[in-house]
Amino acid sequence: MQLPTARDLMVELDKYPHVQDDCSLRQALETFSDGHIEMHGECSLPRILLVFDQTGALLGLVRRRDILSGLSPRWFFKADTQHPEAVFDVALDENVSEVLADKAIQRFRARSDHAICEYIQPISGTVNRDDSLIRLVNIMVKKGYHMLPVVDDGHVIGVVRSVEVLWAVNQLLNGNEEKVHGEH
């Protein structure tokens, strides 16, 4: 039995949402919102944007929550401990944040022009295009990843997400090996 490879299961880079490191939080949010991924007859939204530099080198990733955090004013999360009158480090009561919703929306708008580069998370794992399904499962389970960039000759050519890996495992368990190899 020939197992599917990362190449068989990946979302090609031109179909996966990605941005350059000089884009704003607003642009990243728009890319997320427009980033529908269609695979195996299903449509899903991305959980992660890949971030590249101007030369096309992969710098890292930005998650949805990174963008939300970047848009949110600091007082959304905790008191500003740098303030001279701040005596205690306390969390903001969510009920108070509801009262301050108008101010929060204004801050969202003001912060939306911040550069995405402040929120990039490193990527600590990639796979090669010829890595097998078993290797993908092993890496995802062992390291806790749900997405792995696929590299060929030093360049990112796509990503393998846990949803495609799970789909492939399901196909193999149900005796549909030809379906896994025939869809790419």
The full set of domains in the chain, from first to last, is 6-67+115-182 (3.10.580.10)
Q: According to the model, what pLDDT value does residue 124 have?
A: 84
Calculate the alpha carbon distances from 97 to 3, 104, 105, 114, 131 in Å.
Answer: 51, 8, 11, 22, 47
Q: How far apart are CA 111 and CA 119, in angstroms?
A: 13
DSSP line for 1-30: -PPPBHHHHPEEGGGS-EEETT-BHHHHHH
Low-confidence ranges of the chain (pLDDT < 50): 79-80, 184
Separation between Cα atoms, residue 120 and residue 138, nearest integer Å: 26
Q: Give the pLDDT score at 1.
A: 67
Report helix angle 64-71 to 25-34, nearest 10. 140
Helix axes 133-143, 162-173, angle to 10 degrees: 130
Three-state secondary structure call for residue 161: strand
Q: What's the pLDDT at 11?
A: 93
pLDDT value of position 81? 53
Question: Helix (H) and strand (E) counts for the chain?
Answer: 8, 9
Give CA–CA dist 19/27, Å, rounded. 8
- What was the pLDDT predicted at 92? 53
Q: How far apart are CA 156 and CA 62, in angstroms?
A: 16
